[in-house]
Amino acid sequence: MNDAIKIHGIEMHYRGCDALRGIDLSVAPGTVMAILGENGAGKTTLIRIMTGFQKPSKGTCSILGLDPTVADQVLELRKRIGYVSDSPALYDWMTIGEIGWFASSFYPEGFKDRYQEFIARYDLPAGRKIKQLSKGQRSKVALSLALAHDPELLILDEPTSGLDPIVRREFLESMISVAATGRTVFLSSHQISEIERVADTIAILHKGKVQLVGPLADLKESIALVTVSLSDPLIALADLPEPSRILAEITEGRQKQLIVQGDGDEAAAYWREATGVLGAQSRSASLEELFVACTRGDSIYKRVTEPSNPSTLEAGKS
Partner 1 sequence: MFFSIDPNNGIAIYEQIVRQVKFAVADGVLIPGQLLPSVRTLSVQLAINPNTVAKAFQILQTEGVCESLRGRGLAIRSDAVVQCNQARRTLLVERLRSAISEALHGGLSTKEVRRLMLDQLGLLDGNVATVASPVGSVADESEPA
CB of 51 to partner 1, least distance (A): 24
CB of 173 to partner 1, least distance (A): 5
Q: Decide whether 107 or 118 has the Cβ nearer to partner 1.
A: 118
Q: Decide whether 10 or 178 has the Cβ nearer to partner 1.
A: 178
Q: Decide whether 169 or 303 has the Cβ nearer to partner 1.
A: 169
In the complex, the residues that contact partner 1 under the rule CB under 8 A are 31-32, 169, 172-173, 176-177, 179-181, 193-194, 196-200, 217, 220-221, 283-284, 286-287, 310-311, 313-318
> DSSP letter string over the chain?
---SEEEEEEEEEETTEEEEEEEEEEE-TT-EEEEEE-TTSSHHHHHHHHTTSS--SEEEEEETTB-TTSHHHHHHHHHHEEEE-SS----TTSBHHHHHHHHHTTS-TTHHHHHHHHHHHTT--TTSBGGGS-HHHHHHHHHHHHHTT--SEEEEESTTTT--HHHHHHHHHHHHHHHHTT-EEEEE-S-HHHHHHH-SEEEEEETTEEEEEEEHHHHHHHEEEEEEEESSTT---PPPPTT-EEEEEEEETTEEEEEEES-HHHHHHHHHTSTTEEEEEEEEPPHHHHHHHHHSSS-------PPPPPPPP-TT--
CB of 141 to partner 1, least distance (A): 21
CB of 163 to partner 1, least distance (A): 15
CB of 199 to partner 1, least distance (A): 7
CA distance 46 to 52: 10
Q: Decide whether 32 or 61 has the Cβ nearer to partner 1.
A: 32
CB of 161 to partner 1, least distance (A): 18
Q: Decide whether 71 or 166 has the Cβ nearer to partner 1.
A: 166
CB of 76 to partner 1, least distance (A): 28
Q: Decide whether 283 or 296 has the Cβ nearer to partner 1.
A: 283
Q: Decide whether 137 or 191 has the Cβ nearer to partner 1.
A: 191
